[in-house]
Chains A and B, each alone.
Chain A
Amino acid sequence: MRGATHAKWAACAAAVALAATACGGGGGGGDSSGVVSSSWGDPQNPLEPANTNEVQGGKVLDMLFRGLKRYDPKTGEAKDMVAESIETEDSQTYTVKVKDGWKFSNGEAVTSKSFVDAWNYGAHLKNNQKGAYFFGYIEGYDKVHPEKGDPSADTLSGLKVVDARTFTVKLSQKFSTWPETLGYPAFAPLPKAFFDDRAGWLAKPVGNGPYSIKSYQKGSKMELRKWDAYSGDDKAENGGVDLRVYTDNNSAYNDLMAGNLDLVDDIPAAQLRNVKNDLGDRYINTPAGIIQTLAFAFYDSKWNKPGAEKVRKGLSMAINREQITETIFQKTRTPAKDWTSPVLGKDGGYSDSLCGDACDYDAEQAKKLVEEGGGIPGGTLKISYNADTGSHKEWVDAVCNSINKALGNNKSCVGNSVGTFADFRSKASQQKLDGAWRAGWQMDYPLIQNFLQPVYYTDAPSNDGKYSSEEFDKLVNEANAETDTGKAVSTFQDAEKVLAKDMAAIPLWYQNGSAGYSDRVSDVALNQFSVPVYAEIKVN
């Protein structure tokens, strides 16, 4: 009797232990059937390709969709994916051929119509797509998305379906690097199911990528599983990915440390000090296509008068980038040397010498330049930032400290916090900020054009400071019309030199993507958008 009880106890203990490991592991192990669990943030917008403009939604789209092109996760080069060919003779009219045999995970074929319909949907004003401007280069955009009033057309006149696998695109101006923009998720194809039942599709999106959605609990969890019939050659190396929404990246990090989570793609600032001890080489810190700058209020005549560029240059030299990136960001930022990003590479237009001395710390020279330029307008530089997300307060204070020290005046620079990001953005976009403010630019696609035109071209959508230079605009136009890619890039760099001359914005640092992962998974890497390349992750 006593023996039997013992046996029972042993069995129970074994069962408990088994159950515990099964729960703790989050699903079976082994080669390509293991499921990766990863941290996630609640996407801000409904998950429509043209409506997603932030990383969290973009993460899902990258697993769910494949467009005409895809950016190589290592080099950033735009490679044909669903496109068989994209041809043009005049950099204005393009003929796109879609590869045969691609399917959506619901069985529908990916045809030229899947693209044309999706783009027409994305561009149309009544669909409220936040990324509608991506279709702005296509002829007829002003008809379906007028700046004022109601649309006068339902479809883009520049898009024509030729046959099931071919369509043509006519742009409203020459744009030689346009095909390279097509890797952006907004250009993804949509299945017929989307147009038939949008609400149903949004509840459980269907795409043509390596994963399909098994379940989606909005605001808390999405389970993606490898889609076996996927047509591309970048099939998933794991059985699936569970995205879990975390209220805070600290709790995600703690979950990783406790072994309940495989991947965190945003290391909390407070943990940067310990992360190397905690994770060793399972900590990733690689450059991403994000640059942070200080933008200036050019709409204010005080900042737009002759000589002000000397003040801006002087301020730039007063900022000790090396020290700030090391002490505050623990080297998850790299001091900026130009107005683009190192992920572009030398051939893509990145240059480590374009900003030159102006981006090096030199207190003496800084003081001299500011004085020559007539001093800081109003005596004090106010740097505005939003206090709700990121650790902007810390670095703004550090930048101000650095400036104050260099100029030998404690009142040279002060931080000005704005409560929420929405409020900050609304003030910035309505030209209600004075002095300077933090400006960030995360690239849409790895092209030098994307770092310059949307931010510094006259009246461009992200040109909040209203910087305007005829010379810069002229060079950008020339570069866009240039058919030879190499020449286009060097013309863009010429335009960038205008920015350097005017110090249109002070480049601060390039932001890295930082991530950490458990020893259960391997082959983890971040792409240039600082999004993990999920399909390549292997479960040990």
Chain B
Amino acid sequence: MGRYVIRRLLQMIPVFFGATLLIFLMVNVMGDPIAGLCGDRKCDPATAAQLKKEFGLDKPVWQQYVTYMGNVFTGDFGTAFNGQKVTELMSTAFPVTIRLTLVAIVFEIVIGISLGVLTGLRRGRPIDTTVLILTLVVISVPTFVTGLLLQLLLGVEWGVIKPAVSAEATVDELIVPGLVLASVSLAYVTRLTRTSIAENRRADYVRTAVAKGLPRRRVVLRHLLRNSLIPVVTFIGTDVGALMGGAIVTERIFNIHGVGFQLYQGILRQSTQTVVGFVTVLVLVFLVANLIVDLLYAVLDPRIRYA
């Protein structure tokens, strides 16, 4: 197990460098960010040169990348164009997005898995068909439609929630945005769980458990569900990174000042430091989430052992 973890951690290094280099190049080919800073008026050449020097944009790209990565390892993610340290931006944005992601994941786990178990055990019954149709609808409607619709109905028309989340972004304010963010994944989780449960219901060990006279509850939770969860856990694990990065749409609609907002603004202003910094952290989150998923396999299914 220990060796496996170390091997996985070492594999993360080239992935990490490759991903950041790609992002760095992509932001750089978008052109000269300083031009946008001066609005509709051309920056005077002296100030533009001075600004370029300050943000290190006057050097060749490879040199910028090396300097940048060097700084990152000392915890310095550079400065955004509005004079704020990128680490400062991260310290305000990440907690908010993490809260939002957690709310979304909780919805996925609680609603998604419960519905999945319910339908998986009652395959072909009306409830199964209903849920299947519902998930189909959720999957086919884009997030921004669901988001805007819920915002308009719950926020403006019925006044159940505030349409825009405040700067503090408390958990109760994040419930509806979290649900919107989770919606598509939630539908997938439901379907994955349903299929898995339905398949394993006929497995020998379930029949044995039932034959032993174990209570139904125990059969379903301990034997059936535990074995059926492996694909679901994989999905939810990889979804953590996707949710954090993919929150741009949801965060914009509900005025959440999280990672998505900062990334969006960073891209608009072509602030290399902001975009690369945030994406670097997101890449790390993604990699770690994947590692944790792989390690969880062993917990769920003792037959899986890593040498």
- Where the two chains meet, the residues of A that have a C-beta atom closer than 8 Å to any C-beta of B are 42-46, 53-54, 125-126, 128-130, 132-133, 145-148, 202, 217-221, 244-248, 250-252, 254-255, 257-261, 388-389, 419-430, 439-442, 454, 461-462, 464
Residue of B nearest to A418 (CB): B31
Give how many A-B residue pairs fall within 8 Å (CB-CB). Answer: 168
Q: Which of B31, B47, B155 makes the CB contact (< 8 A) with A427?
A: B31
Contact, CB under 8 Å: A130 / B268 = no
Given A145-B46, A425-B40, A442-B40, decide whether A219 and B162 contact each other with a Cβ distance below 8 A: no
Over the window 29-58 of chain B, the binary record of Cβ atoms lying under 8 Å from chain A Cβ atoms (1 yes, 0 no) is 011111111111111111100110010000
How many whole Å from B205's CB to the nearest CB in chain A?
50
CA A261 to CA B255, docked complex, whole Å: 13
How many whole Å from B67's CB to the nearest CB in chain A?
20
Contact, CB under 8 Å: B54 / A420 = no
Contact, CB under 8 Å: B30 / A420 = yes
Contact, CB under 8 Å: B35 / A258 = no
Tally of chain B residues near chain A (CB < 8 A): 54
Contact, CB under 8 Å: A251 / B254 = yes
Interface centre among B30, B31, B44, B166 (most CB of A within 10 A): B31
CA A252 to CA B54, docked complex, whole Å: 35
CA A343 to CA B42, docked complex, whole Å: 24
Of the listed stretches B6-14, B82-90, B287-295, chain A binds B82-90
Chain A residues with Cβ under 8 A from B261's Cβ? 247
Closest 5 CB pairs of A and B: A422-B36, A426-B35, A46-B83, A220-B167, A254-B163
CA A257 to CA B265, docked complex, whole Å: 25
Contact, CB under 8 Å: B30 / A422 = yes
Contact, CB under 8 Å: A420 / B264 = no
Given A202-B83, A255-B162, A260-B163, decide whether A439 and B40 contact each other with a Cβ distance below 8 A: yes
Chain B residues with Cβ under 8 A from A245's Cβ? 167, 257
Residue of B nearest to A55 (CB): B39
Contact, CB under 8 Å: A132 / B44 = yes
Q: Which of B45, B251, B269 makes the CB contact (< 8 A) with A422?
A: B269
Chain B residues with Cβ under 8 A from A425's Cβ? 35-36, 38-40, 42
CA A219 to CA B268, docked complex, whole Å: 15
Q: Does any Cβ of A come within 8 Å of B297's Cβ? A: no
Q: Which of B41, B46, B167, B262 makes the CB contact (< 8 A) with A244?
A: B167
Q: Does any Cβ of A come within 8 Å of B141's Cβ? A: no
- Where the two chains meet, the residues of B that have a C-beta atom closer than 8 Å to any C-beta of A are 30-47, 50-51, 54, 81-84, 88-89, 92, 148, 151-152, 155-156, 159, 162-164, 166-167, 251-257, 261-262, 264-265, 267-270
Given contacts A217-B92, A218-B82, A420-B270, 4 further A-B contacts (CB under 8 A): A130-B37, A425-B35, A425-B36, A427-B31
What would be 9 A-B contacts, judged by CB atoms less than 8 Å apart?
A130-B38, A130-B47, A244-B166, A389-B268, A420-B36, A423-B32, A423-B35, A425-B39, A461-B41
How many whole Å from B193's CB to the nearest CB in chain A?
34
CA A422 to CA B30, docked complex, whole Å: 9
Chain A residues with Cβ under 8 A from B156's Cβ? 254, 257-258
Q: Which of A42, A146, A461 makes the CB contact (< 8 A) with B42?
A: A461
Chain A residues with Cβ under 8 A from B38's Cβ? 53, 130, 425
Contact, CB under 8 Å: A247 / B251 = yes
CA A132 to CA B51, docked complex, whole Å: 13
Chain A residues with Cβ under 8 A from B51's Cβ? 128
Q: Which of B31, B45, B164 makes the CB contact (< 8 A) with A246?
A: B164
Chain A residues with Cβ under 8 A from B265's Cβ? 42
Chain B residues with Cβ under 8 A from A423's Cβ? 30-32, 35-36, 270
Contact, CB under 8 Å: A461 / B44 = yes
Chain B residues with Cβ under 8 A from A252's Cβ? 164, 255
Contact, CB under 8 Å: B83 / A45 = yes
Contact, CB under 8 Å: B35 / A429 = yes
CA A510 to CA B75, docked complex, whole Å: 48
Q: Which of A44, A132, A248, A427 makes the CB contact (< 8 A) with B253?
A: A248
Chain B residues with Cβ under 8 A from A202's Cβ? 83
Given A128-B54, A217-B167, A426-B36, decide whether A44 and B81 contact each other with a Cβ distance below 8 A: yes
Contact, CB under 8 Å: A429 / B30 = no
